[in-house]
Amino acid sequence: MEANAKQFKKRNAILACLQHTDLHPSAEMVHEMLREKHPDISLATVYRNLSHFKSQGLIQSLGTVNGIERFDATLSPHVHFICTSCGRILDLPEVELPLSLSRDVERSCGGQVHSCQLTFTGLCRSCRNSCQPGGESRQAIQ
């Protein structure tokens, strides 16, 4: 019975870790964040529970960034920006998803939209400033 309690405690810690960060962590990042309080937690346990949470709809995968899957516990529709240089993922709560977009998609395919992920990619402010003389971009978004 004690083994089940330990497993449940680890599972809760993994989910809480995701719910209380805006880093959009990978499994490895979650593992590292939890090791101090849970030194016996294995990376396999983190992967197994992330898969479970994803299948239960408690978290979402943001896909792979620099070859590593990243996760988000915020399930409400929102916009992300992913830096293609450093891999940082930002939530953009000030950018609203237009309701008409879902209607347009439904009209176009005849289906029903249940969720939406809108992701922009490019260089974050730090990477943009570090790679451009004077911090100005030489490319304009078209």
pLDDT digits (tens, 9 = 90+) for 27-84: 999 999 999 999 999 999 999 999 999 999 999 999 999 999 999 999 988 899 999 9
Sign of the dihedral defined by the CA atoms of residues 26, 130, 117, 20, in that order = positive
Cβ atoms of 129 and 95 closer than 8 Å: no
Does the domain made of 1-73 have the CATH classification 3.40.50.720?
A: no
Both tokens of 28, joined, read 């490895």
- CATH 3.30.1490.190 range(s) for the chain read 76-142
- State the DSSP string of 76-130: S--EEEEETTT--EEEETTSPPPHHHHHHHHHHHSS------EEEEE--HHHHHH
Q: Which CATH class is domain 76-142?
A: alpha beta
- Whole-model pTM? 0.81
